[in-house]
Amino acid sequence: MKLANRLQYKEHGLIFAQAWEHQNGRNGCLGTPLNQNAIARTLERLIASAEVRRINVHGLRHPSATLLLAAGVQPHVVQQRLGHSSIGTTLNQYAHVLPSQQAGAASKLAALIY
């Protein structure tokens, strides 16, 4: 959407932002923040169409962080994405994901040594 509407899109670095379908004749601007009701309605539609367990927007933080850590994203990057002020908060909350990365770390160390 950003590329297709370069002249109309105002960048705010948001995950959820105003799109054409959110304008409804109002004086909105592409790229500006959505109101939380619009986000919740969109999430409800996605949940219904995917036929998955109901979750609220805030509830998306945990699976997002867990998947990122399991994929090998550095904990400090996950910390920044979640807005935690301390890496300790992130590591304490999501430490259960990190042990699965031990084998990969051992393999990388072995490759460097040999």
Buried b / exposed e over 68-97, threshold 16 CB at 10 Å, is bbeeeeebeebbeebebeeeeebbebbeeb
pLDDT higher than 70, residue 100: yes
Q: Which residue has the higher pLDDT, 6 or 24?
A: 6
Q: What is the mean pLDDT of the chain?
A: 85
* String of DSSP letters for 4-64: TTTTT------SSB--GGGTTTSS--TTSBPPHHHHHHHHHHHHHHHT-----TGGGHHHH
In the numeric block, which tokens belong to residue 64? 């997002």
pLDDT tens-digit series, residues 42-81: 899 999 999 999 998 888 888 899 999 888 899 999 999 9
